[in-house]
Amino acid sequence: MTREEIDLYEIIQAYPNFPKQGILFRDINPVFRSNDAMNFVCSEIYRRFKNIKIDCIAGIESRGFVLSSFVAMKLGKGMIMIRKAGKLPGETIGKSYNIEYGNAIMEIQKNSIERGQNVLIADDLIATGGTAMAAAYLIEELGGIVAGFAFVVELADLNGATILRNKGYKVHSLVVYN
């Protein structure tokens, strides 16, 4: 398969009513499973951010760990985990964000970012953007600079990517569904 033949829309699968009734789940596992597809994804992310200084890649638990690690290896950078509360040892800071019923908390280790470092945040998918905004808050709270956001899938009608762009962040999604 050559790079030109990679059509992410064709590779990503849709599962109606998963994980529950009324949700159309976009499954990017078939992308992760294909090295050709991941090379394409990483090359596209590199291309879109090549004029931006990036010191490290932050991945949001847990599918974001896959994308961020592939991108980190491709770009020759390290990878930082942004995790659900209680998973990271040592000194951490947390940020709560809204989920469907109530709140959840994302955490980062205080020593994971040096002041002034440029951090690209990577996640498989952006919907309402709650975790993405929590991730940006955590990085900035530690003195890091959010170099941008890279997503494989953007669910445009849930507006998360638009909110991030309106806040002035550079956001690139490889596949957009309305």
Looking at the annotation, which residues are catalytic?
A: 63, 100
Sheet-wide strand order for 56-60: 92-98, 103-109, 78-84, 56-60, 118-126, 145-155, 171-177
Residue 170 CB, nearest approach to a copy of itself (Å): 22
Residue 89 CB, nearest approach to a copy of itself (Å): 4
- Specify the residue, 101 or 168, whose C-beta has the smaller distance to a copy of itself: 101
Residue 58 neighbours by CB distance under 10 Å: 28
Classify residue 34 by its DSSP letter. Answer: -
- Specify the residue, 35 or 166, whose C-beta has the smaller distance to a copy of itself: 35
Task: Please give the structure tokens belonging to residue 147.
Answer: 């170099």
129 burial via Cβ count (<10 Å: 0-12, 13-18, 19+): buried
Residues that bind a copy of itself (CB under 8 A): 13, 15, 18-19, 25, 27, 29, 32-35, 37-38, 42, 56, 59, 61-63, 65-70, 72-74, 76-81, 86-90, 109, 112
- Specify the residue, 78 or 143, whose C-beta has the smaller distance to a copy of itself: 78
Distance CA 35, CA 38 (A): 5
Q: How far apart are the first and last CA of the chain?
A: 28
AA identity, residue 159? N
- Specify the residue, 67 or 175, whose C-beta has the smaller distance to a copy of itself: 67
